[in-house]
């Protein structure tokens, strides 16, 4: 679910560099890889977030002669602040006094007449209903995907501030998120590889990934990497999670932990054998 806002393009359409110029001095930045580079807003979607207080991010594009802003439901208060600053900057740039909601109704560019907390509360109720039915739900974040459970929903208590604070803790920008790699040991079967490196604070799944993005993966393996092209071995996801010392990790959300920097000896202690890569 989402809420969209539109501004007709009056002056020459901005590219991403022009938009960032309007936002100079604000901690708003692109969150997807490669979007820091200048490029057109037409034909692509720019994902923006509030650095230091990341939420789910907002989307900005140009389509059919309009600047389009999309805010997810539920979003955090920092997401709404990001959207308000972007809409206000574009409106000032073009001398406009209103922006249009997707239903055609006009609102102030700073969203002062938008029921932000009401939209967040509605979204939280919807998330709660999904969790009641399916036990958990995945919410995309500006930095990483987040798994939500009934305990999380109860912890928010329907409060937009509580939800915003909680979600921001899951989007820590300084943590390393390993990108899955793939190897083939048996013809026709792919092995997913998650790298856990020495000395790096790493976001790590509590279970093997089951995303539809990996339909051909027959099994998953954790490559324990010591650096300087040295391996400490391999292990399963379940083995790593169950054999970490309690002081070596913290829970990020229901679907992931943060593994604190491990030494070479600690990686070797987790090994179940050579990787074979």
pLDDT at 201 over 70: yes
Task: Tell me the mean pLDDT in the region 151-168.
Answer: 95
Ramachandran area for residue 89 (φ above 0: left; ψ -120 to 50: alpha; else beta): alpha
pLDDT at 276 over 60: no
pLDDT at 246 over 90: yes
DSSP string for residues in 194-219: EEEETT--EEEESS----TT-TTEEE
pLDDT at 100 over 60: yes
> Residue 277's pLDDT is what?
57
> Residue 94's pLDDT is what?
93
Task: Tell me the mean pLDDT in the region 217-235.
Answer: 83
> Residue 218's pLDDT is what?
80
- Write phi, then psi, for 221 (nearest 5 degrees): -135, 140
pLDDT at 185 over 90: no
> Residue 38's pLDDT is what?
84
pTM score of the predicted model? 0.88
- Specify the pairing of strand 106-107 against strand 99-101: antiparallel
The proportion of the chain whose per-residue pLDDT surpasses 90, expressed as a percent, equals 71
> Residue 275's pLDDT is what?
59
- Specify the pairing of strand 189-197 against strand 217-227: parallel
> Residue 167's pLDDT is what?
97
Position 211 confidence tier, pLDDT thresholds 50, 70, 90:
low
Tokens of 51: 């650095």
> Of 47, 102, 100, 98, nearest to 75 (Cα)?
47
Average pLDDT, the chain: 91
CA-CA distance, 56 to 40, in Å (whole number)?
23
Tens-digit pLDDT profile for residues 128-146 = 999 998 888 999 999 999 9
pLDDT at 102 over 80: yes
- Contacts of residue 84, defined as CB under 8 A and 6 or more positions apart, other chains included, come to 109, 110, 111
Tens-digit pLDDT profile for residues 54-91 = 999 999 999 999 999 999 999 999 999 999 999 999 99
> Residue 230's pLDDT is what?
77
Task: Tell me the mean pLDDT in the region 221-243.
Answer: 87
Q: To 10 degrees, what angle do helices 160-170 and 116-134 make?
A: 70
């Amino acid at each position: 679910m989402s809420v969209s806002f539109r501004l007709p393009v009056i002056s020459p359409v901005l590219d991403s560099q022009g938009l960032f110029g309007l936002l100079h001095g604000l901690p708003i930045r692109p969150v997807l890889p490669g979007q820091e580079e200048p490029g057109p807003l037409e034909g692509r979607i720019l994902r923006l977030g509030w650095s230091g207080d990341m939420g789910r991010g907002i989307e900005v594009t140009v389509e059919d002669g309009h600047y389009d802003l999309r805010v997810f439901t539920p979003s955090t208060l920092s997401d709404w602040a990001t959207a308000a600053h972007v809409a206000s900057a574009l409106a000032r740039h073009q001398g406009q006094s209103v922006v249009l909601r997707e239903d055609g109704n006009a609102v102030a560019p700073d969203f002062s007449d938008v029921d932000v907390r009401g939209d967040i509360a509605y979204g939280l109720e919807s998330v709660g209903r999904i969790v009641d039915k399916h036990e958990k739900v995945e919410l995309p974040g500006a930095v990483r995907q987040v798994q939500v459970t009934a305990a999380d929903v109860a912890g928010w208590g329907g409060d937009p501030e509580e939800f915003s604070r909680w979600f921001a803790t899951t989007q820590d920008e300084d943590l390393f998120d390993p990108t899955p790699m793939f190897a083939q040991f048996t013809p026709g079967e792919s092995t997913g590889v998650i790298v856990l490196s020495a000395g790096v604070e790493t976001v790590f799944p509590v279970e093997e990934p089951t995303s539809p993005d990996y339909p051909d993966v027959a099994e998953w393996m954790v490559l324990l990497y010591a650096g300087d092209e040295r391996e400490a071995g391999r292990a399963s996801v379940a083995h790593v999670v169950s054999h970490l010392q309690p002081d070596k990790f913290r829970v990020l959300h229901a679907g992931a932990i943060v593994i604190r920097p491990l030494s070479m000896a600690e990686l070797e202690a987790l090994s179940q054998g050579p990787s074979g890569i």
